[in-house]
């Protein structure tokens, strides 16, 4: 899965269990990557600010944001809708 450097940078700030030279597995659950529920909320707020989107509460589900890959897919759809 390919995502932009800005998304990767945000992820790396929160994925405590991923070494700097190790790729982030897009299908791995957040706790395995070292991201707890509070860090996930902070990450979502940072995504809104960085990418200039508003993530509706209706999208804040376990499915939409359960992994980095599902988070990027959801964010990608929001960005496409803005265009």
Res. 62: pLDDT tops 80: no
Range of the domain at 39: 5-78
d(CA 39, CA 18): 15
Here the CATH number for the domain that contains residue 39 is 1.10.1200.10
**Which pLDDT band, with edges at 50, 70 and 90, does 83 fall under?**
confident
Asked whether residue 83 is domain-assigned, the answer is no
**At CB < 8 A and 24+ separation, what contacts does 38-42 make?**
39/14, 40/14, 40/65, 42/14
**Residues ≥6 apart with Cβ < 8 Å to 11:** 24, 43, 68
Q: What would the two tokens of residue 32 be? A: 């395995």
Predicted confidence at residue 60, as pLDDT, reads 84
Q: How many angstroms separate the CA atoms of 33 and 81, rounded?
A: 29
Average predicted confidence (pLDDT) for the chain: 93
Number of compact structural domains in the chain: 1
Say if 69 falls within a structural domain.
yes
């Amino acid at each position: 899965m390919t995502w932009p450097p800005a998304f990767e940078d945000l992820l790396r700030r929160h994925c405590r269990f991923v070494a700097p030279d190790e790729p982030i597995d897009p299908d791995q659950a957040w706790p395995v990557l070292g991201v707890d529920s509070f860090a996930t909320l902070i990450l979502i707020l940072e995504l809104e600010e960085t990418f200039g989107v508003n993530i509706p509460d209706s999208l804040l589900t376990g499915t939409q944001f359960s992994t980095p890959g599902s988070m990027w897919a959801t964010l990608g759809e929001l960005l496409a809708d803005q265009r």
